[in-house]
Amino acid sequence: MLQDFLEEHDLSPQFLQVVEQWYAPLVGKLVAHAKVTGSPLVVGLNGSQGSGKSTLASLLCKLLSEQFQLKTVTLSIDDFYLGHETRLHLAKEIHPLLATRGVPGTHDVPLMREILLQLTGRQGKVLVPRFNKANDDRQPIELWDKIELPLDIIIIEGWCLGTPSQPEGALGKAVNQLEKNEDPDGSWREYVNHQLHNQYKELHQIIDIWIMLQAPSFDCVYRWRLEQEKKLAATIAQNSPSLSLQNRVMNAEQLWHFIQHYQRLTEHSLRELPGQVNYLFKLDQNRRIIEAIEQKPVMLR
Average pLDDT, the chain: 92
Non-local CB neighbours of 215 within 8 Å, separated by 6+ positions: 47, 48, 51, 221, 224, 266, 270, 283
Contact 150, 71 (CB under 8 A): yes
* Greatest C-alpha distance within the chain: 54
Sign of CA dihedral 25, 18, 154, 81: positive
- Looking at residue 38, the DSSP 8-state letter turns out to be S
* β-pair partners for 73: 154
The pTM is what? 0.93
Of the listed ranges 20-29, 41-50, 211-220, 240-249, the one predicted with least confidence: 240-249
Residue 72 neighbours by CB distance under 10 Å? 24
Contact 280, 293 (CB under 8 A): yes
* Topology at the third CATH level for domain 3-287: Rossmann fold (3.40.50)
Sign of CA dihedral 21, 47, 138, 230: negative
* Residue 252 predicted with pLDDT over 90: no
* Residue 115 predicted with pLDDT over 70: yes
* β-pair partners for 211: 45, 279
- pLDDT band with cut points at 50, 70 and 90 for residue 1: confident
Contact 188, 99 (CB under 8 A): no
Residue 137, SS3 per DSSP:
strand
- Looking at residue 165, the DSSP 8-state letter turns out to be P
Instruction: Give the pLDDT of residue 240.
Output: 60
* Residue 242 predicted with pLDDT over 60: no
* Residue 97 predicted with pLDDT over 90: yes
